[in-house]
Amino acid sequence: MSTHTTGSPANDGLSPELVELRRSVEEFANEVVDPKAAENYRNHTFDYDIVAGMGDLGLFGLPFSEEYGGMGGDYLALGVALEELARVDQSVAITLEAGCSLGAMPIYRFGSGEQKQRWLPDLLTGRAIAGFGLTEPEAGSDAGGTKTTASLEDGHWVLNGSKQFITNSGTDITSVVTTTAVTGHREDGRKEISAIIVPTDTPGFTAEPAYDKVGWNSSDTHPLSYDDVRVPEENLLGTRGRGFAQFLSILAEGRVALAALSTGVAQGCVDEAVAYARQRTSFGRPISEYQAVSFKIARMEARAWSARQAWRAAAAKMLSGADFGREASIAKMVASEAAMDNARDATQVFGGAGYMNETRVARHYRDSKILEIGEGTTEVQLMLIARSLGLEDR
């Protein structure tokens, strides 16, 4: 087990409260998450005890107000926690990230007072988690591809359709999946897309068998089907016809959180590579003394440092109330690429040992590719950055 290297930049610029949060989550990651990580990964186990432990620490409530059982923090606090968890186990980190940014946040941002009072207390304490039902086979970033429908009948929305790749959607503690659906058409013929809260115990709602994934083996991901799913009209989330716009704003915030998670992966790979290079000998010398190895690790550290600056700058701009879309896209792209590159280089430093799944670096190598895909691919981020510069795509 490795921890942060001496003089870690992870504390740089943080308030004493955030330094203490980082330390407590690092301790939880090392002492609770890490001992079970390899076994959970091998057995594809969603670990309810670890989720409960994160709830006890208040991690699910970090970016939410105390009024609904949150911790009164913000996305900077959530990002600090995600860094430490992702350093050890990406599956655990994405469970928290999706639970906060994608699960509870739509209800917190757009829900009515009654919806918040009903759902948030359990979601912000980890007693329950929620899913974010956006992606379909032909619809993710492209709202026009949405095929799931919701029609009003006798005071109820009746949903039909399917979703795919939905995190936290099929666990024993999943309480709701907020779902985008076509609720009509505008005068110009475009689809009217709304967001609707769907409790998972509603008849006709089915979390299909879990995916067999390349990585993130200990996180929960399912396709979903909706077969005449009836929920009350008041389960509409926010304004009718604004569902996709609402979800896009949630994704922008989520990109900052995912960038923090990716930074933790990048830093974890550095820490593992440093520890291994110091103790692994070749030709009578620690491999850390060979420039080919030390320079590789130095470049890894530069990537992790750059990723941290990017996500924290994006978080700071978000918290200032300014438009942070470009910074969120830059942070998400830079950090996810740093995670993927560092996972590859750390595996190379470990040699054959890096190909064994009991090592963190092997799991990071399998897990990290999705960081360049989820919550907007690298190509989508490049498109958004280019648009922000006035370079319109054709």
Kindly name the residue from 83, 136, 272, 375 that is annotated as catalytic. 375
Query: Of the CATH numbers 1.20.140.10, 1.10.10.60, 1.10.3720.10, 1.10.10.10, which one belongs to the domain with range 245-388?
Result: 1.20.140.10
User: What is the pLDDT at residue 394?
Assistant: 60
Q: Is the pLDDT of residue 141 over 90?
A: no
How far is 218 from 210, CA to CA, in rounded Å?
11
How far is 155 from 295, CA to CA, in rounded Å?
65
Nearest residue to 140 via CA among 251, 236, 239: 251
Alpha helices in 288-373 (DSSP H): 291-320, 325-350, 360-367
How far is 226 from 200, CA to CA, in rounded Å?
10
Are the C-beta atoms of 126 and 92 separated by less than 8 Å? Answer: no
What is 130-242's CATH number? 2.40.110.10
Half-sphere exposure of 356 (CA within 13 A, CB side): 6
Considering only the C-alpha atoms of the chain, give the largest distance between any 2 of them, rounded to a whole number of Å.
Answer: 79
Q: Is the pLDDT of residue 311 over 70?
A: yes
Half-sphere exposure of 226 (CA within 13 A, CB side): 28
Q: Is the pLDDT of residue 118 over 70?
A: yes
How far is the first Cα of the chain from the last one, in angstroms, to the nearest whole number?
50
205-207 and 281-282: which strand pairing?
A: unpaired
Q: Among this protein's residues, is 375 annotated catalytic? A: yes
List pLDDT tens digits, range 223-277: 999 999 999 999 999 999 999 899 989 999 999 999 999 999 999 999 999 999 9
CATH fold label, 9-123: Butyryl-Coa Dehydrogenase, subunit A; domain 1 (1.10.540)
Q: Is the pLDDT of residue 171 over 90?
A: yes
Mean pLDDT, range 367-394, rounded to an integer = 92
Q: What are the φ/ψ torsions at residue 200 (nearest 5 degrees)?
A: -75, -15
DSSP states of 234-245 as a string? Answer: GGEESSTT-HHH
298 — pLDDT class (breaks 50, 70, 90): very high
Mean pLDDT, range 193-215, rounded to an integer = 97
Are the C-beta atoms of 47 and 54 separated by less than 8 Å? Answer: no
- DSSP class of 6: T
- Look at the chain and count its residues: 394
Domain positions in the chain: 9-123, 130-242, 245-388
How far is 155 from 232, CA to CA, in rounded Å?
6
Instruction: Quote the mean pLDDT of the chain.
Output: 94
Nearest residue to 76 via CA among 320, 334, 380: 320
Are the C-beta atoms of 54 and 24 separated by less than 8 Å? Answer: no
User: What is the pLDDT at residue 195?
Assistant: 97
List pLDDT tens digits, range 4-27: 544 467 888 899 999 999 999 999
Alpha helices in 12-101 (DSSP H): 16-28, 34-43, 48-56, 75-88, 90-97
> Which residues on neighbouring strands pair with residue 150, listed in sequence order?
159
In this prediction, what percent of the chain has a pLDDT beyond 90?
90
List pLDDT tens digits, range 84-95: 999 999 999 999
